[in-house]
Chain A
Amino acid sequence: MTGKQPFEAVVALHGATVLRVCRAVLGPADADDAWSETFLAALRAYPDLPADANVEAWLVTIAHRKAIDITRATARRAVPVAQTPDDATAPGADRAGDGLDGDLAAAVAALPAKQKQAVAYHYLAGLPYADIAAIVGGSVDAARRAAADGIAALRRAYPDVIGTTAQTTGGSSRKGGGRERV
Chain B
Amino acid sequence: MNAFDLTRDLKRAFPQDPGELSRLHARLAAQAEREGILDVAYRTMDSPVGPLLLAATEAGLVRVAYASEDHDTVLRSLATRISPRVLSAPARLDEPARELDEYFAGRRRSFGLVLDWRLSAGFRRAVLRSLPEIGYGQTISYAAAAALAGNPKAVRAAATACATNPLPVVVPCHRVIYSDGRIGRYLGGPEAKRALLSLEAS
Mark A residues whose CB is within 8 Å of B.
1, 3-8, 11, 15-16, 19-20, 23-24, 32, 35-36, 39-40, 43-44, 46-47, 100-102, 104-105, 108, 119, 123-124, 126, 151, 154-155, 158-159
Complex Cα gap A112–B12 (Å)? 21
Mark B residues whose CB is within 8 Å of A.
1, 3, 6-7, 9-16, 20-21, 24-25, 27-28, 31-32, 35, 37-38, 40, 42, 75-80, 83-88
Q: List 19 A-B contacts (CB under 8 A).
A: A3-B79, A3-B84, A6-B75, A6-B78, A7-B86, A8-B87, A11-B28, A16-B16, A19-B14, A20-B11, A36-B24, A40-B31, A40-B32, A104-B9, A108-B13, A123-B6, A123-B10, A124-B7, A158-B9
The interface centre, meaning the residue of B6, B12, B88 with most chain A CB atoms within 10 A of its CB, is: B6
Known: A1-B77, A16-B21. A104 touches B13 (CB 8 A): yes
Secondary structure at the A interface, as helix, strand, loop or mixed, is helix
Cβ–Cβ contact A124 & B11, under 8 A: yes
Known: A4-B84, A35-B24. A124 touches B75 (CB 8 A): no
Q: Besides the contacts A6-B84, A43-B37, A123-B6, what 4 more A-B pairs have beta carbons closer than 8 Å?
A: A40-B32, A100-B9, A102-B13, A123-B7
Complex Cα gap A46–B38 (Å)? 12
Complex Cα gap A171–B34 (Å)? 58
Chain A: minimal CB distance from B79 (Å): 4
Q: How many interface contacts (CB-CB < 8 Å) are there between A and B?
A: 108
Known: A1-B77, A1-B80. A47 touches B13 (CB 8 A): no
* A44 cross-chain contacts in B, Cβ below 8 A: 35, 37
* A1 cross-chain contacts in B, Cβ below 8 A: 76-77, 80
Q: Given A16, A43, A46, which contacts B28 in the complex, CB threshold below 8 Å?
A: A43
Chain B: minimal CB distance from A56 (Å): 15
Cβ–Cβ contact A20 & B87, under 8 A: no
* A7 cross-chain contacts in B, Cβ below 8 A: 79, 84-87
Minimal Cβ-Cβ distance residue in B for A28: B14
Cβ–Cβ contact A46 & B7, under 8 A: no
Q: Given A15, A46, A100, which contacts B25 in the complex, CB threshold below 8 Å?
A: A15
3 A-B pairs with the lowest CB-CB distances in the bound complex, closest first? A3-B80, A6-B86, A104-B13
Cβ–Cβ contact A8 & B21, under 8 A: no
Cβ–Cβ contact B13 & A101, under 8 A: yes
Known: A7-B86, A39-B28. A20 touches B14 (CB 8 A): yes
Cβ–Cβ contact B25 & A5, under 8 A: no
Complex Cα gap A16–B80 (Å)? 25
Cβ–Cβ contact A47 & B14, under 8 A: no
Known: A1-B80, A36-B31. A43 touches B13 (CB 8 A): no
